[in-house]
Amino acid sequence: MVKEYNPYLEYVKDELFLEGVSLRELAEKYGTPLYVYSASYIRDRLREYRESFPGALICYAVKANFNPHIVSLMAGEGAGADIVSGGELYVALMAGVNPSRIVYAGVGKTVKELVEAIKADILMFNVESRMELEILNQLGEQLGKKVRISIRVNPHVDPKTHPYIATGMKKSKFGIDIDRAEEEYRYALSMKNIQVVGVHCHIGSQILDTSPYVEAVSKVVDLYRSLEDQGIELQYLDIGGGLGIKYKPEDRALTPMELSSALSPILQKVKATVVLEPGRSLVGNAGVLITQVQFVKDKGEKHFVIVDAGMNDLIRPAIYDAYHHILPVVKRGRPSIVTDVVGPICETGDFLAKDRQLEEVGRGDYLAVLSAGAYGFAMSSHYNVRPRACEVLVDRGYVRVIREREDYQYILSKSS
């Protein structure tokens, strides 16, 4: 069953290994909480995207996991980057992503960020408002550049995911309403320092079904063709990211091949280069979070396993009530119990699992929290003055620390 999450994850004699490396040994050596990622898994997923969408530009969504070594691994495999901040641009460039493969979305880009990206000569800005378009035109003039843009359209499609990660619905802050897009294209075309190159949409994240994509991409292709009829030719059709992964044992990930098959009748109608922006589906199940049991507490009505990873390390359960599968790093064959797995933070929302059936554990045991490679470390914080975790990359038996564990001095280093 563990292999369904990641084929490189397996129990060998009751001990959990990732790409041939014992997770118990890594935890003993580097301490916990510890993020461990599998490089081969990431390469395999990228290959799957390339094979499913030949000729497409795959721009890894850096927000899912911004570790420069991870981004560099993607760049080495030819991926571009989807960024949403100046910080992500900095990471992408530092990691060796070719600027001609960087796309930049986000509703609130600052002038500083826009200037940095114009100077870097990225492929295109996915513009989310008329005001952003105007500012970009002004900055282009000041910098003596023509700025390449796509319009991020909001196609009003329900992606059937958690409401906090649905981005293409009528009331969401993202993009420009698709009904008003043609007007915005005409406006953009009238601007001296803007070069219109594409159209973009991203309807949400952790989507497990092709139908919202079919609905959204059909609307976007209708727009593309209508613009084409008016003599406006777009070179890029960016359909965003969002493919869902396996979190619960009963989940089935949406594969790039399934998406490609569902979209191919629609995409056949366009000459533009397809752009994809996957994040979670490339790194989510590449990673596990290893945590150590501190205490076990039985309150009669409720049983708690208290571990050293908190909501500051993995916030997804707290903010989305997200499910992450949890396994013992060493199976001891004890009877199972029903328990909450909670962290040390002073918040009732600080939990990793609720009412979870788990093999009974004791102080010092290690647990592996699965599907933690995306939006795990990337969303971690210093809450309660907790140094952020160490990150390790395993690659065909080799182990590399790709981010050292922080300490208290590091947290306070800007507070002198």
Ligand X SMILES: Cc1ncc(COP(=O)(O)O)c(C=O)c1O
Q: Residue 135: phi, psi to the nearest 5? A: -65, -40
Judged by beta carbon distances under 5 to 8 A according to partner kind, the member of ligand X, ligand LYS, none in contact with residue 316 is ligand LYS
Q: How far is the CB of 159 from ligand X (least distance, A)?
A: 10
- How near is the Cβ of 165 to ligand LYS at its closest, in Å? 5
Q: Is the peptide bond before 249 cis (omega within 30 degrees of 0)?
A: no
Q: Please list the active-site residues.
A: 346
Q: Which is nearer to ligand X, 91 or 341 (CB)?
A: 91
Buried b (16+ CB within 10 A) or exposed e, 35-45: bbbbbbbbbeb
Please tell me the chain's helix, strand, coil percentages from 3-state DSSP, rounded to the nearest 5: 35, 25, 40
Which lies closer to ligand X via its Cβ, residue 278 or residue 343?
A: 278
CA angle 67, 71, 77 (to 5 degrees): 150
Q: Measured from the CB atom, is 61 or 216 closer to ligand X?
A: 61
Q: Which letter does DSSP use for residue 207 in this model? A: B
Give the closest residue to 247 by CA, choosing from 211, 276, 206. 206
Residue 370 in contact with residue 325, Cβ under 8 Å? yes
Residue 81 beta carbon to ligand LYS: minimum distance, rounded to whole angstroms: 14
**Binding site feature residues:** 242, 277-280, 316, 320, 347, 375
Q: Which CB sits closer to ligand LYS, 205 or 312?
A: 205
Are the C-beta atoms of residues 323 and 247 closer than 8 Å to each other? yes
Nearest to ligand LYS of 59, 194 (CB atom): 59
Query: 308, 270 in Cβ contact below 8 A?
Result: no
Of residues 306, 275, 216, the one with CA closest to residue 58: 275
Picked from ligand X, ligand LYS, none, the partner binding residue 82 (CB below 5 to 8 A depending on kind) is ligand X
Residue 277 touches which of ligand LYS, ligand X, none (CB < 5 to 8 A by kind)?
Answer: ligand X
Binding site for ligand X (CB under 6 A): 61, 64, 82, 105, 167, 202, 205, 240-243, 277-281, 374
Which of residues 194 and 322 has its CB atom nearest to ligand LYS in the complex? Answer: 322
CB of 205 to ligand LYS, least distance (A): 4
Residue nearest to ligand LYS (CB): 375
Nearest to 316 by CA among 304, 324, 327: 324
Q: What region does 175 belong to: left with phi over 0, alpha with psi -120 to 50, or beta?
A: left
CA distances for 393 relative to 21, 26, 375, angstroms: 10, 11, 16
Q: Considering CB distances under 5 to 8 angstroms, the limit depending on partner class, which of ligand X, ligand LYS, none binds residue 210?
A: none
Q: Note whether 352 and 341 are within 8 A (CB).
A: yes
| Phi/psi of residue 311, nearest 5 degrees | -65, -20
Binding residues for pyridoxal 5'-phosphate: 242, 277-280, 375
The minimum distance between CB 293 and ligand LYS, in angstroms, equals: 25
130 CB-contact burial (10 Å; exposed 0-12 / middle 13-18 / buried 19+) = middle
From the list ligand X, ligand LYS, none, pick the one residue 6 interacts with, judged by a Cβ distance below 5 to 8 Å according to partner type: none
Least distance from ligand X to the Cβ atom of residue 314, Å: 16
**Of ligand X, ligand LYS, none, which one sits near residue 278, judging by CB under 5 to 8 A according to partner kind?**
ligand X
Report which of 53, 1, 9 is spatially closest to residue 285, judged by C-alpha positions: 9
Q: First and final CA of the chain: distance in angstroms?
A: 50
Sites of contact with ligand LYS (CB under 6 A): 63, 165, 167, 205-206, 316, 375
Pick from ligand X, ligand LYS, none: which does 267 bind, CB < 5 to 8 A by kind? none
Residue 354 to residue 349: CA distance in whole angstroms: 11
To the nearest whole angstrom, how small is the minimum distance from the Cβ of residue 284 to ligand X? 8
Nearest CB to ligand LYS, comparing residues 188 and 283:
283
